[in-house]
């Protein structure tokens, strides 16, 4: 083989490697079809019928696809009942900030064109009326006003009573069957939108879901992993207030899954954190830096601290799972040095909670003896 032929052979080999790298990012190895005509594409992903190459779905575009599905699901959630089409200045702010929809008019037109939304019918629109409005319609037409809402609607439809809202029937849209099927297969996105207390962004949810990629995982499983990750971050950065609220979110998540044996310890941890002065840590830092005096910190502690009654209620609801040894373990594991209450004070108080079902607590009386603890 001549040097030139050898050089050409090496060049072909190099090009084959480059092509293999370029096509390795394609996420779907199934046969590709042209989106315009449905023609099966050749190996070069070129449509001989349309005479043009086809855009590929690359891994870097997966997040864009996720956000489109997320936005579609949230809009379909809004149109679960008949509703007029939004204009750009009327749409909820979260359409932009959360869903990335910057032109709701165009977005809604696409949903209608793709048969995700359809015109609402008379029966669906009349459901929007309140019971007293339905009764007034019947009363004005000398018809009985007895029965539940379904009976009232059936009576109006049977007697062909004119309904004012019908005049704008062409302006009302609702989920189609196709839209409903799409919506039901993406309910986790609605859960993410509704659970704003977790402060989980769609991007954060997408990243953890992509990383774990477990088909048996549900929405709460992914959220749990995100909250656990935050615990490590908050502990490392000494963000104690955020840590407290994160534990509270984890406890509420466990309650939703009926995991009361886990949630009781998390509520207990939040309770002990409060009694230990978790919300005073910034003031303690200022005291050490001589910005404020110790007397000011003590005064602030005695006047402003109040135990979250909701936490006490939830703790008492799960008292059957309570383990008294956990109090000492949690107290000693608290990452900050200065603690408002002693271990004994907290143990005695929790026993009072359990025995007397106390909810309203005078925080000032509890910490009177413990306020003499030195700030070191």
Model confidence at 59, in pLDDT bands (50, 70, 90)?
very low
Q: Look at residue 352 in the predicted model and tell me its pLDDT.
A: 80
What does the pLDDT average to over 95-102?
93
Check residue 342 and give its pLDDT.
Answer: 83
Residue 356 has pLDDT above 60, yes or no: yes
Mean pLDDT of 280-287: 69
Residue 58 has pLDDT above 50, yes or no: no
Percent of the chain with pLDDT strictly greater than 70: 72
The residue with greater pLDDT, 315 or 114, is 114
Region 48-57: what's the mean pLDDT?
Answer: 54
Residue 265 has pLDDT above 60, yes or no: yes
**Quick one: pLDDT at residue 275?**
83
Between 339 and 156, residue with greater pLDDT = 156
pLDDT at 358 over 90: no
Strand, helix or coil for residue 125: helix
Residue 51 has pLDDT above 90, yes or no: no
Residue of 27, 3, 23 whose CA lies nearest to 15: 23
Considering the entire predicted model, what is its pTM?
A: 0.71
- pLDDT at position 348: 83
363: which 2 tokens? 């925080």
* Span 243-252, average pLDDT: 94
pLDDT at 27 over 50: no
Higher pLDDT pick, 49 / 22? 49
Domain range summary for the chain, segments of one domain joined by + = 62-187, 238-372
């Amino acid at each position: 083989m001549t040097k030139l032929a050898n050089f050409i052979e090496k060049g072909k080999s190099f090009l084959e490697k480059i092509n293999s790298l370029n096509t390795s990012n394609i996420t779907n190895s199934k046969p590709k079809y042209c989106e315009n005509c449905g023609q099966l594409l050749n190996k070069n992903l070129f449509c001989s019928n349309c005479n043009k190459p086809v855009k590929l779905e690359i891994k870097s575009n997966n997040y864009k696809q996720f956000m489109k599905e997320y936005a579609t699901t949230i809009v379909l959630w809004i149109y679960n009942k008949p509703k007029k089409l939004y204009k750009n200045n009327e749409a909820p702010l979260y359409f932009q900030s959360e869903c990335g929809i910057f032109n709701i008019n165009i977005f809604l037109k696409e949903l209608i064109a793709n048969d995700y939304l359809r015109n609402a019918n008379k029966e669906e629109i009349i459901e929007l009326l309140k019971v007293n409005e339905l009764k007034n319609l019947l009363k004005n037409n000398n018809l009985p006003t007895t029965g539940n809402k379904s009976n009232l609607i059936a009576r109006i439809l049977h007697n062909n009573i004119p309904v004012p809202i019908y005049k704008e029937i062409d302006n009302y849209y609702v989920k189609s069957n196709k839209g409903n099927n799409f919506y039901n297969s993406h309910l986790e996105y609605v859960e993410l939108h509704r659970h704003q207390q977790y402060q989980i962004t769609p991007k954060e949810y997408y990243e953890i879901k992509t990383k774990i990629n477990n088909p048996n995982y549900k929405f709460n499983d992914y959220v749990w992993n995100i909250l656990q990750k935050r615990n490590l971050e908050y502990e490392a950065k000494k963000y104690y207030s955020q840590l407290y609220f994160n534990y509270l979110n984890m406890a509420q998540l466990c309650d939703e899954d009926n995991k009361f044996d886990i949630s009781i310890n998390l509520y207990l941890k939040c309770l002990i954190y409060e009694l230990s002065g978790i919300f005073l840590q910034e003031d303690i830092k200022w005291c050490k830096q001589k910005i404020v005096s110790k007397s000011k910190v003590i005064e602030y502690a005695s006047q402003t601290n109040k135990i979250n009654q909701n936490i006490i209620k939830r703790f008492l609801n799960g008292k059957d799972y309570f383990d008294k040894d956990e109090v000492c373990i949690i107290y000693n594991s608290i990452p900050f040095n200065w603690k408002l209450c002693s271990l004994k004070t907290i143990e005695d108080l929790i026993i009072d909670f359990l025995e007397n079902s106390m909810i309203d607590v005078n925080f000032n009386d509890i910490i009177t003896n413990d306020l003499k603890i030195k700030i070191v």
